[in-house]
Amino acid sequence: MNTYEAMLLLDNREVKKGWDGLKEKVDGVLKKHGAEIIVAKRWDERKLAYEIKKQRRATYYLAYFKAPPESLAKMNFDLKLSEPILRHLILRVEEVPAEAFEPEKEFQVEASSDSEGSGASKVDAVEEAVDQEEVVVEEVVEAVAVEEIVAEAAAPLEADGTEESSSTTPESDEKSE
Amino acid sequence: MAYGNKKFRRFGADASNVKPDGELDYKNIPYLTSLMSPQFRIYPRKRTGFSGKDQRKLKRAIKRARFLALIPYTS
């Protein structure tokens, strides 16, 4: 018996139908192949970096379990066939991290979670805006990192002017939002 | 590579002393993205200052996070 960590991406349409039923169903797939679940909880409900099976958002389900190594291949196969699971990743872990035992947070499954075809142009626009926001934030992070490095290198003559201008503009953007 | 590039070196004179500031795990998304360009390319060792071992851990963690749509492959 090894300890494993499984991250499952669950379809929000199924989550909305009722969490308890879905949890039972998902745990059932694991248990069917001899898994003894140690802890299992919703890890997050977030926007996907890219669409998976036409879904833009998904619920992340994190489970730690013990299982015989031979059962993993069949379990993987079954998880792949399982409809509410968009994607999954099972990794072997030495021990279950302490934060896994913290109680589950509350999640609200958003109404705009499922994408009905490609006709929803408003949703697209909003999400594009969100994408841009994220990029801006990351640029700030990078600019700060570069500044630190430049300061350490103690020869910031050339870089200084450009770095400052690039770091001030995204910051002001952020404040206005 | 042992001496790295002076411009990007993170601490002191010996680049091999640089340790990750966080856990190199696929769930640690803010830290992983801090080690990537705005276009989500993984920074090279020259830029991260990591040892070969840590850089491989970083690579693995980022690729797992990409598979689970936590980080984009590109933008």
Residue A65's CATH number: 3.30.70.60
Chain B partners within 8 Å of A62 (Cβ):
27
Q: Verify that A109 and A138 share a domain, yes or no.
A: no
Q: Verify that A110 and A144 share a domain, yes or no.
A: no
A130 or A96, which is more confident? A96
Q: Verify that A51 and A98 share a domain, yes or no.
A: yes
Residue identified by tokens 């031979």 is A70
Q: Verify that A100 and A172 share a domain, yes or no.
A: no
Residue identified by tokens 């805006």 is A129
| Residue B9 reports pLDDT greater than 70 | no
A94 or A166, which is more confident? A94
Q: Verify that A137 and A109 share a domain, yes or no.
A: no
- Is residue A123 included in any domain, yes or no? no
The answer to whether the CB atoms of B7 and A153 lie below 8 A apart is yes
Q: How far is A33 from chain B (nearest CA, A)?
A: 23
Select from A7, A135, A141 the Cβ nearest to the Cβ of B75. A135
* Four-CA torsion B23, B61, A99, A1, nearest 10 degrees: -120
Residues 15 to 74 of B: which have CB under 8 A from any A CB? 26-27, 33-34, 37-38, 64, 66-73
A89 or A105, which is more confident? A89
Q: Verify that A137 and A83 share a domain, yes or no.
A: no
Chain A partners within 8 Å of B67 (Cβ):
87, 89
The residue among A82, A116, A150 that closes a domain is A116
- Is residue A121 included in any domain, yes or no? no
- Is residue A159 included in any domain, yes or no? yes
Q: How confident is the model at residue A174 (pLDDT cuts 50, 70, 90)?
A: very low
Chain B partners within 8 Å of A138 (Cβ):
33, 38
Q: How far is A88 from chain B (nearest CA, A)?
A: 7
A125 or B75, which is more confident? B75
- Is residue A124 included in any domain, yes or no? no
A141 shares contact with chain B (CB less than 8 Å): yes
The residue among A116, A140, A165 that closes a domain is A116
A60 shares contact with chain B (CB less than 8 Å): yes
| Residue A138 reports pLDDT greater than 60 | no
| Residue A121 reports pLDDT greater than 90 | no
| Residue A61 reports pLDDT greater than 70 | yes
Q: Is B73 helix (H, G, I), strand (E, B) or coil?
A: coil
Q: What is the pTM of this model?
A: 0.66
- Rounded Cα distance, A173 and A176, in Å: 5
| Residue A150 reports pLDDT greater than 70 | no
Q: Verify that A8 and A89 share a domain, yes or no.
A: yes
| Residue B35 reports pLDDT greater than 60 | yes
The answer to whether the CB atoms of B37 and A52 lie below 8 A apart is no
Compute the average pLDDT of residues A148-176: 47
pLDDT at residue A78 in the model: 94
The residue among A67, A82, A116 that closes a domain is A116
Give me the interface pTM, i.e. the ipTM.
0.77
- Rounded Cα distance, B54 and B15, in Å: 13
pLDDT at residue A117 in the model: 43
Domain, as residue range, for A168: 131-176
Q: How confident is the model at residue B49 (pLDDT cuts 50, 70, 90)?
A: confident
Q: Verify that A25 and A106 share a domain, yes or no.
A: yes
Domain count of chain A?
A: 2
A89 shares contact with chain B (CB less than 8 Å): yes
The answer to whether the CB atoms of B38 and A139 lie below 8 A apart is yes
- Is residue A122 included in any domain, yes or no? no
Q: Verify that A95 and A150 share a domain, yes or no.
A: no
Half-sphere exposure of A123 (CA within 13 A, CB side): 15
Q: Verify that A37 and A73 share a domain, yes or no.
A: yes
pLDDT at residue B15 in the model: 54
- Is residue A53 included in any domain, yes or no? yes
Q: Verify that A94 and A58 share a domain, yes or no.
A: yes
| Residue A177 reports pLDDT greater than 60 | no
| Residue A156 reports pLDDT greater than 70 | no
